[in-house]
Amino acid sequence: MQTFTLRWKNFELNLGRRTAIMGIVNVTPDSFSDGGRFYATDAAVAQAERLVAEGADILDIGGESTRPFAQEVSAQEEIARVLPVIQRLAGRIPVPISIDTAKAVVADAALSAGAAMVNDIGS
């Protein structure tokens, strides 16, 4: 079996030996997967820590719903949702944080706050 190791910043992710797990934390009031249960910063941080404790290899933080017919939010609102979560987690958890956004300004702010990678599903 062929394996690959990705190394960046202070992270290393081994791919190929087993499936890597990405834990998802949607910091939105209208998430299609959790109904907004982790919209508050404290709830999002607690969920993120729980996902890492349960074995997540990457933690993906998103601040805008991508469900069909979701209301678009401004970059400023998206930043206000995700940055407090990223800032509280960065350096405290042993896995890389990914920012789920299609906006360059949000990605830049998240990377400056401690995110290690960008998950851009935009077209």
- Tell me the per-residue pLDDT of 32-86, one tens digit each, with 9 for 90 and over: 777 778 889 999 999 999 999 999 999 999 999 888 888 899 999 999 999 999 9
Better-scored residue on pLDDT, 121 or 119: 119
Stated pTM of the model: 0.91
Q: How far is CA 46 from CA 71, 80, 85, in A?
A: 26, 18, 10
Q: Map out the domains of the chain as residue ranges.
A: 19-119
CA 98 to chain centre: 4
Give the model's pLDDT for residue 123: 67
pLDDT tens figures, 13-43: 888 888 999 999 999 988 777 777 888 999 9
AA letter at 59: L
Q: Which fold has domain 19-119?
A: TIM Barrel (3.20.20)
